Amino acid sequence: MNTSAGAGGLGVAALRRYVLTVAAGNLAWEVLQLPLYHIWYHAGLLRLAFIALAGTSGDIPIAIVSLVCAFSLFGRERAAPPISPAVAWTTIAIGLVYTIGSEMVHLRLGTWHYAALMPRLPLLGVGLGPTLQWVAIPPLALRAAGGRFLPRHRSGTG
C-alpha cells in the first residue's frame, strides 16, 4: 500500500504528521495556558496534568473532523488530495467556530472558569488563549502534513 502522496497531497504519512503535530501542539498549548484558568490556582499537579491531557484528547478529534469536513467541501477527487488554501482555511475556521461555541457553552455551564489573567474577546466573552490555539496550531499541522497554503520564502533577486 502506498502511504505517500504527491507534493502537497494528504496521504497516510501526511495525515500521521498532521495528527502528531496537532497532538503535540495542543498538549503544549493546553499546558502553557493552564495559568489562564481558575483551576490552576487550586488543583494539584496530577489534576492539572489530567486537565491538559483531557483538553488535548478533545482537541485532536476536533482537528481531524475539521480537516475531514474541509476536504468534503473543497477537496478534489484524488486518492491523496492536495491541501489547498480553501481546505486549509476551512479547517481552521471550523475548528475556531467549534472552539468559540464550546467555550461559550462551558463557561455558561460552569464547567470551567477563566482566571483574571485570561484576555477575552469583546462581545463573545471567550478567552483569547483557546481562540488563538485554533489560529496557530492547525496551520502548523497542515504545513507539517505537506500543505503548501502558506507562502514559501523565495530566494533570489526581484
Res 67 pLDDT > 80: yes
Instruction: Render the burial of 72-91: b for 16+ CB within 10 Å, e for the rest.
Output: eebbeeeebbbbbeebbbbb
Q: What is the pLDDT of residues 116-134, one digit of tens each?
A: 999 999 999 999 999 999 9
Q: Please give the pLDDT value at position 3.
A: 42
Q: What letter would DSSP give residue 152? A: P
Rounded Cα gap, residues 138 and 22, in angstroms: 7
- Please calculate the CA angle 77-144-92 and round it to the nearest 5 degrees: 65
Q: Please give the pLDDT value at position 148.
A: 56
List of residues 6+ apart from 51 with CB closer than 8 A: 30, 34, 37, 39, 43
Rounded Cα gap, residues 109 and 126, in angstroms: 13
- Give the confidence band of 92 by pLDDT, cuts at 50, 70, 90: very high
State the CB neighbour count (10 A cutoff) for residue 11.
19
In this prediction, residues 5-18 reach a mean pLDDT of 72
Bridge partners, residue 114, by sequence: 37
Q: What letter would DSSP give residue 64? A: H
| The residue type at 112 | W
Average per-residue pLDDT in the chain? 87
- Give the confidence band of 157 by pLDDT, cuts at 50, 70, 90: very low
